[in-house]
């Protein structure tokens, strides 16, 4: 019964509202805990004490949807979490490790995603080391995407692409930068126990991708059928105990 109850608990969505943060603050792994949990999901982190830098996941409730630059790396362009919530996750794949999350094997319904203010403004405005998407004329076919890779027991099972900016359309009026929370369907990955996030784009220099490799995420939802099966498993176990 305890095992079944634990399995049902693990199926809880990750909303990040269960991560305690002071207002207008963030967790970036500086406590050297190596991970943070929301719902039934573990979000991993690598923090470098020498440089005060981090990789993989942070959690934030900062609301600055205006300020450009690295100093505002923890804010979503929406100014808050999905569905009007305060707290959300920030995935960053840097030099140490890709953004990685792990959980008990299950099929996922999906998660909500949007740009960070840092990435959005860099694509919109350009800068010293980053290109303004579309170029001077708006005709340059620039793009930036995050790829979610699914794994089960260490073996790859598939991937899902989500474009955070896409200027490849013949009609420039269709070009876009994501500035709202968007649901990304992950059910096609099947049963997985690990997700990693990779970033790619058209603006690449000598040291790799120039566009800041960040995405904000929220509301990671297990597939409802998986949760139902776990519930049925609990009932069956109780019956066997009787």
Give the whole-angstrom CA distance, residue 11 versus residue 152: 16
Q: How open is the CA angle 17-20-26, to the nearest 5 degrees?
A: 95
Three-class SS state of 165: strand
Confidence grade of residue 225 (pLDDT, cut at 50, 70, 90): low
- Is 58 strand, coil or helix? strand
> Does residue 223 belong to any structural domain of this protein?
no
- Whether the per-residue pLDDT at 165 is higher than 90: the answer is yes
Is residue 126 in a domain?
Answer: yes
The answer to whether residues 164 and 91 touch, using CB atoms and an 8 Å cutoff, is no
d(CA 240, CA 235): 9
- Give buried/exposed letters for 16-47 (b at 16+ CB in 10 A, else e): bbebebeeeebbbbeeeeebbebbbbbbbbbb
Scanning the structure block, which residue is given the tokens 């099966």? 229
Residue 117, phi then psi, degrees to nearest 5: -60, -40
Cβ contact 157:190 at 8 Å: yes
Least confident of 50-54, 86-90, 231-235: 231-235
Predicted confidence (pLDDT) per residue in 177-214, tens digit: 999 999 999 999 999 999 999 999 999 998 899 999 99
Query: Total structural domains in the chain?
Result: 1
Which CATH number do you get for residue 51?
2.60.120.1350
β-strand partners of 56: 45, 92
Domain that holds residue 61: 16-218
pLDDT tens digits for 106-154?
999 999 999 999 999 999 999 999 999 999 999 999 999 999 999 999 9
Does 235 reside within a domain?
A: no
Average pLDDT of the segment spanning 29-54: 96
**Complete DSSP assignment for 76-87:** BTTSS-GGG-S-
Question: Tokens 């207002």 — which residue?
Answer: 23
Query: For residue range 60-115, what is the model confidence (pLDDT) as tens digits?
Result: 999 999 999 999 999 999 999 999 999 999 999 988 889 999 999 999 999 999 99
Residue 227, CA distances (Å) to 9, 19, 117, 137, 179 in order: 9, 22, 34, 50, 31
- pLDDT for res 201: 98
pLDDT band at 242 (very low <50, low <70, confident <90, very high): very low
Q: Which helix (H) or strand (E) holds 59?
A: strand 53-60
Residue 170 lies inside a defined structural domain of this protein? yes
Closest residue by Cα to residue 218 from 44, 22, 80: 80
Would you say residue 115 lies in a domain?
A: yes
pLDDT of the residue at 2? 42
Would residue 228 count as lying in a domain? no
| Domain annotation covers residue 242 | no
Alpha carbon distance 175, 121 (integer Å): 15
Residues 6 or more apart whose Cβ sits within 8 Å of residue 233: 4, 7
Residue 20 lies in a domain: yes
Q: Which of 100, 202, 207, 220 is nearest to 151 (CA)?
A: 100
Q: Which of 46-55, 147-156, 161-170, 219-228 has the lowest mean pLDDT?
A: 219-228
């Amino acid at each position: 019964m305890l095992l079944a109850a634990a399995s049902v608990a693990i199926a809880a969505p990750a909303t990040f509202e269960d991560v305690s943060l002071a207002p207008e603050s963030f967790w970036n792994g500086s406590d050297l805990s190596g991970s943070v949990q929301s719902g039934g999901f573990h979000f991993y982190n690598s923090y470098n004490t020498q440089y005060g830098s981090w990789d993989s996941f942070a959690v934030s409730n900062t609301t600055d949807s205006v300020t450009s630059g690295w100093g505002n790396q923890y804010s979503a362009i929406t100014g808050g979490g999905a569905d009007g919530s305060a707290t959300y996750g920030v995935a960053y794949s840097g030099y140490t490790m890709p953004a990685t999350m792990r959980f008990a094997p299950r099929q996922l319904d999906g998660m909500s995603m949007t740009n960070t203010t840092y990435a959005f403004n860099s694509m919109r405005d350009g800068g010293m080391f980053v290109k303004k998407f579309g170029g001077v004329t708006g005709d340059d076919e620039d793009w930036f995407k995050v790829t979610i890779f699914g794994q089960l027991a260490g073996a790859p099972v598939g991937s899902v692409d989500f474009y955070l900016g896409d200027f490849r359309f013949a009609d420039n009026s269709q070009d876009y930068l994501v500035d709202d929370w968007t649901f990304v369907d992950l059910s096609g990955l099947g049963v997985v126990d690990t997700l990693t996030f990779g970033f790619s784009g058209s603006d690449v220099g000598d040291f790799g991708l120039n566009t800041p490799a960040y995405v904000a995420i929220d509301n990671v939802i297990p597939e409802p059928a998986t949760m139902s099966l776990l519930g049925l498993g609990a009932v069956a176990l109780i019956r066997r105990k009787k």
